[in-house]
Amino acid sequence: MKTAISKIQAEENFALGALKISGWLIVSVLIFIIGYIFYYGLPEVLSWHYLFTPPEGGRHDNGGILYQILATIYLIIGSLIVAAPIGVFAAIYLTEYAPQNFITTLIRFAIENLAGIPSIIYGLFGLAFFVIFLKFEYSLLAGALSVSIMVLPVIIRTSEEALKSVPQAFRQSSLALGVNKWQTISKVVLPSAFPGILTGILLSIGRIVGESAVLILAAGGSITAIPRFVSTTYPYVLPDSARTLAVHLYYQATSYDARAKAFATGVVLIFIVLFLNWCINQISKGYRKKLAVR
């Protein structure tokens, strides 16, 4: 009896210990990866020169990443201008209007599937549709439009969650005052759901910044010219081929002589992700506080 109990006890300790180790193992892997990238990349970034000089190209990739930062910012703006309104509107339709019918099922099915498609497929689509069929050539515009379809499910899902969490009583009391549905949505529902929607947009910025496969296929990779936001020739908006930070990192890392620079670009990317995560956590903290007060 006693040995049986001690055997169970031993098994218990061993199993719980293993679970604990696996949890901490993942944290240490993360810390190791980030530490490794920072160890080799941080000195270059801290010299600031790297961030604010234009790239010169060449085998050793002299110069900095100013144009890549610019291209990344353009890409974020370009994709969000398209994806954010469409995503939020779609979420509003799904939570506030959608009847239980075939079309709604189809929309939900489409969103589920879009979320599961790998980015390389979005890249192929961008290449076939935007670059070749619509004749955008390799351009940030083609990249931004492909990426905006890719982040659409992210924005729709998080916005939907946010809209669902707005109490039904808010809507009813607004409607009882005699205002119509759009006024209720714009004045009551959207403001209360705003933090959640913002979270979705920040998440999708993270996806956009980290995306590389789509952009290699749809946005091309020229580096030495400064990308323009608008132009007088077709396709007018974001017309230039450009490398974002993630794509630049890929080219740097795969050419042996420029790999040291890739770590610096990696540090910049990790900083962006850290900053976005910090923002998201702050928002959800504030949101929880607000709910607690209520």
Partner 1 sequence: MQETKIKKYFEKKEKRFWSSFVNLFMEQLFFLSASVAVISLFLITAYVFYNGFKLFQFVPVTDFLFGFDWDPVTQKLFGVFPMIIASCYVTVGALVISAPLGIACAIFLAEIASPATQQVIRPAVQLLSGIPSVVFGLFGLAFIVPLIQDVGDVAGLSILAAIIILSIMILPTIISISEDAIKAVPKELKESSIALGTTKWQTILGVVLPASSSGIVTALILSVGRAFGEAMAVKMVIGNTQTMPDFSPQTGFGLLSLARTLTTNIVGDIEYAEPGPHLSALFATGAILFLFIIIINATSYVCLRRNSVKSNS
- Map the footprint of partner 1 across residues 109-138, applying CB under 8 A: 110-114, 116-125, 127-129, 133
CA separation for the pair 75, 84 (Å, rounded): 13
Residue list 59-118, contact with partner 1 (CB under 8 A): 85-87, 89-90, 92-94, 96-98, 106-107, 110-114, 116-118
Binding residues for partner 1 restricted to 163-222, rule: CB under 8 A: 180-183, 185, 206, 209-213, 216-217
The CB-of-187 to partner 1 minimum distance in angstroms stands at 12
Burial (CB count within 10 angstroms: exposed 0-12, middle 13-18, buried 19+), residue 112 = exposed
Is 48 or 89 the residue whose CB approaches partner 1 more closely? 89
Binding flag, residue 226, partner 1 (CB under 8 A) = no
| Minimum gap (Å) between residue 232 Cβ and partner 1 | 28
Helices of type H across the chain:
2-46, 49-52, 66-92, 102-116, 119-125, 140-164, 168-176, 181-184, 190-210, 213-218, 245-254, 259-293
Q: Rounded to the nearest whole angstrom, what is the least distance from the CB of residue 231 to partner 1 in the complex? A: 25
CA 247 to chain centre: 15
Question: Which residue, among 68, 45, 69, has the nearest Cα to 263 in the 3D structure?
Answer: 45
Distance between CA atoms of 220 and 138, rounded to whole angstroms? Answer: 5
Between 16 and 228, CB nearer to partner 1: 16
Name the residue nearer to partner 1 (CB basis): 156 or 238.
Answer: 156
Between 46 and 274, name the residue whose CB sits nearer to partner 1. 274
